[in-house]
Amino acid sequence: MEPVQHQMMGYDRAITMFSPDGRLLQVEYAKRTVRLGNTAIGIACKDGVILVADKRLVDKLVIPDAIEKIFKIDDHIMATAAGLLADARVLVERAQLKAQQHRVEYDMPVDNLAIVKDICNLKQLCTQSGGYRPFGVSLLVAGIDEGGITLFETDPTGLYYQYKATVIGEGESEEEMLHKEYKETMTMDEGLALAIKLLKKALGEQFSAERIDAAIIPLKTKQMEKVSKDKIEKLIK
pTM: 0.93
% of the chain beyond a pLDDT of 90: 76
Query: Following DSSP, what letter does each residue of 62-73 receive, concatenated?
Result: S-GGG---EEEE
Q: Are 162 and 152 in contact (CB under 8 A)?
A: yes
Residue closest to 53 by CA, chosen among 196, 234, 221 = 196
Cα(160)–Cα(153) distance, integer angstroms: 5
At 87-135, the pLDDT tens digits run 999 999 999 999 999 999 999 999 999 999 999 999 999 999 888 899 9
Residue 6: per-residue pLDDT: 45
Residue closest to 83 by CA, chosen among 154, 40, 34 = 34
Q: Are 49 and 187 in contact (CB under 8 A)?
A: no
pLDDT band at 142 (very low <50, low <70, confident <90, very high): very high
Residue closest to 50 by CA, chosen among 123, 154, 142 = 142
At 83-100, the pLDDT tens digits run 999 999 999 999 999 999
Residue 9: per-residue pLDDT: 61
Q: What is the phi/psi pair of residue 15, to 5°?
A: -65, -25
Cα(192)–Cα(138) distance, integer angstroms: 21
Q: Is the pLDDT of residue 199 over 80?
A: yes
Cα(62)–Cα(65) distance, integer angstroms: 9
List of domains in the chain: 23-229 (3.60.20.10)
Cα(80)–Cα(147) distance, integer angstroms: 21
CB atoms within 10 A of CB 185: 8
Q: What is the phi/psi pair of residue 53, to 5°?
A: -135, 150
Q: Is the pLDDT of residue 237 over 90?
A: no
